[in-house]
Amino acid sequence: MVSRIRCPFCGYEGDPKDFDYMYESVLYMADHEVFHEERERPILVICPRCRKGFFLEDPYSRIKEKNQA
Ligand SMILES: [Zn+2]
C-alpha cells in the first residue's frame, strides 16, 4: 500500500486521504459517434495545496524511488 503521496508540483506530501481523486471518464465525440476508450485510465490525484492534478506513478517506480532516498 502507498503510505504517502507527494505532489510533483509543489512538493506537498501527505496521507492518501488528504488528496482528492478523480476518475477520468473518457468519452470521445467524433461526429455523432461516441467512442469509449477501452484501456484502463489511471486515477488523477488532486493536490489539496496547489489543486493541481497528477497521476500516481506505478508502484514499481515508487519502490525504486524509496530505495534511492
Ligand atoms: Zn501540490
Residue 6 C-alpha to ligand 1 middle, in angstroms?
8
- pLDDT for position 17: 93
Residue 62 C-alpha to ligand 1 middle, in angstroms?
18
Contact yes or no for 11/39 (Cβ under 8 A): no
- Distance of alpha carbon 54 from alpha carbon 37, whole angstroms: 20
Residue 9 C-alpha to ligand 1 middle, in angstroms?
5
- pLDDT for position 23: 76
Contact yes or no for 5/65 (Cβ under 8 A): no
Give residue-wise pLDDT tens across range 39-68. 666 788 999 999 999 988 655 555 566 665
Q: Is the pLDDT of residue 22 over 80?
A: yes
More confident position, 13 or 23: 13
- Distance of alpha carbon 66 from alpha carbon 43, whole angstroms: 21
Specify the residue for cell string 504517502: 4
Neighbours of ion ligand 1 (CB under 5 A): 7, 9-10, 12, 47, 49-50
Residue 11 C-alpha to ligand 1 middle, in angstroms?
6
Q: Which percentage of the chain shows pLDDT scores above 70?
A: 52
- Distance of alpha carbon 66 from alpha carbon 1, whole angstroms: 13
